[in-house]
Structure 1
Amino acid sequence: MNKIFVMLNINDRVKLYTDYLDNGGIQKIFFRELCVDLQKVTKLSDGNVDVNTISPIVKAAMLAYEATQMTEPLQSDFHLSEYETLYQKSHFFNQINIDTEHEFNEVFTKYTSTDNILFRGLNEAKYRLYSSLQRFWISNKLVQQEVTYEAFLKDLIENAKDVNLNVLRKHLENSGFDYDNDVAVLSFLQHYSCPTPLLDWTYNFGVSLYFATQNVTLPTKAPEINNYLCVYYLEEEHLEGSSLNHIVQVGLTQQKEHFKQQIVAEFADNGLSSEQIEKICTEEFIELVILKEYGAGTINFMTKVDRLINSPILYFSDAKRDSLIRYCLQNNMNIINQQGVFTWNAHPTKPLENIANAEYQTDDNDYKFSKCINIHKNLVPYIKDKIIKAGITKEFVFPDSYEIANTSFERTTKKIKHL
């Protein structure tokens, strides 16, 4: 597959190479002539580099380093890769950099009113889209063990159902959820810090910023990319083909004519006239009946690990209230306030963007899986203040059942003067 690369202009090329030199690159230079010529490079009064001071050897060195940043980071079954530069990352994501409060205010205003975009905030712009289970799998070199990713997942789900006298199984069933839905079990585990193949996304831009601004460290001297956190974002419409909702609905509606004949026959047996049946059995009515009658069984069938594992990339959500297809994901309060969405990656070691590129890119397009907003870490205090004013606090993102109970009681007793 061909990827279109945009070469840097001379000033950005100098900036990229200088960043490399300042962070260990200078120690890798073994040619005295290059070191001498690098010292001769100067800037003009307008801040741009003086091209006349760049020797052929310096130009060649810069181009050689730029070429290394046109390929993706080293990816293997034993190594968690990261983006080395913002330039390298730009080949795989459409991205913008936010460096000022004004620039941040513009994107904050733009994205806080959206409801069809998935966001994922990370406290380092260099991080790739690995799931927690992938990080565990790679860090522990489990590819060398005699266990498959699929077998591991099946065992994890069954153990979750059985632990503590089947309490999770009972909890899901008593709450009206289906314990036979593997995605429901995985989503529960995901929100209680168990490694899973799911990646958390949210429809709420403020929530993504909350996660992106947690535990941020400001480097004193480091590669430029380390000065940024980031928010990845996806327009939902571009994921239509990977939506499990869409796949389930297509599978059900393909049987529409068969189901319609059954429904018509049942109405006729109950004495309804042809005119009455025709009036009732609209296309929308048939689809509604199909989903209500057969949706749960189809969802359970589709969400089994041995079927999910054959789908490289999927996403699913219960956040949209108008959808008739439900995955039993809202089995704890965290996912409700977080407006949670999940993506599924079936590969044990390749990050999500690698899988998406393989799935969607063709020889005649320059596909990029996601867009990304890189935000300078100096803005973290400003961002935190902004989202707190919008009501995005730790208590909102992680509702505490005990806190809800205690606060309710305290507010009530305050009305009684003698207490």
Structure 2
Amino acid sequence: MTTIAVSVQERLRLAKDAARQIGLLDADAKTSLLNAIADALDAATDDIVLANADDLERGRTNAIGDALLDRLRLDAGRVAALAAAVRDVAVLPDPVGRVLDRRTLPNGLALEKVAVPFGVVGSIYEARPNVTVDIAALALRSGNAVVLRGGSAAQSSNAALVTVMRGALASQGVSPEAVQTVDDFGRDGARALMNARGLVDVLVPRGSASLIETVVTESTVPVIETGAGVVHVYLDETARADWAREIVLNAKTQRPSVCNAVETVLVHRAAADRLLPELLVSLAEAGVSVHGDPTVAGYDPRVVAATDADWAAEYLSLDLAVRVVDDLDAALDHIRRYSTHHTESIITDDDTAAQRFLAEVDSAVVLVNASTRFTDGGEFGFGAEVGISTQKLHARGPMGLAELTSTKWLGRGDGQVRV
């Protein structure tokens, strides 16, 4: 075993030990702890922004792209938002100790199924310093220690954030080892984290499709899989023109670099003449490059001819694929083929179409007459999110506190023996 592997394992053992202390804190203690972290983030804003400037400069030098630069950027407003999110998590109901099932056996043995912390939560992600704080806050509130691998692109930012949070823990008499990073070990740290079975209880990857695939295929630690966002909005035959325009623009342009931004718009053929001309003009005015099929291209000369690759593209930019489909059945077929099971939305005034869409689309979040940008832990009232799970085991959709707990059965008897 290499020296690096031994060092990482020692750090993970410290996290495992700290998890026992965190797991025994009551709700009030965890609230105080998180408020201390939020206050510390506010107080260290200048230092955090300065560290982030180093990452941004390195990112520009390495040409990581506008989408990643946007996710990487921290200014005073974003640091304040991070602190506010921690305070939001601090006042959420404590998920630990919830009674999920209760029964008494015929022999009088009383059983309760209760929510308990996982223990140590690991996360591997890239160019997302907000994740450093969001996951740490959610892990601590749910009674877990956390080990983070934030990637080289955000290394200075993440180091500053982890230092602030560890200092806040120490100020509250809580072991700072409950918040760990393996960033300083580079890729070796990530490999060690993925193979720390017995020290890390669950691993959550966030980032590119290739990063997630690597973690899923190489990890021996149980993984909650988050996924890419090839997100669809379907404009049904009865879609209101104002809703169609406003929802598509919001879903594409409010923040195009995130996984809940729409990437493909499908339009019912019978509504194309009514909806597409105005929509395409509005998208062009917003700086969106539309990749369309021949029917869409016939409405606007600025449309770029779409290829098969466009229907599977997660652009994370001001690009949008648009396709005209014959009817709802064709839209559902397209979504089944190309969706990554993240978020899909239908715009319609037809209740029957809406109900079919809700029932038949197999994605983590399915919406009617609303922007896909609502798929977010903060918007769902979770305070923050660990990630958006596109799998079906344990957690699906935006993951908050409840998804960072497991269960155990408690039994209370008065001398029963099995016969």
Higher RCO, 1 vs 2 (CA within 8 Å, ≥6 residues apart): 1
TM-score by length of 1: 0.23
Which structure has the bigger radius of gyration?
Answer: 1
Q: Which has the higher strand share?
A: 2
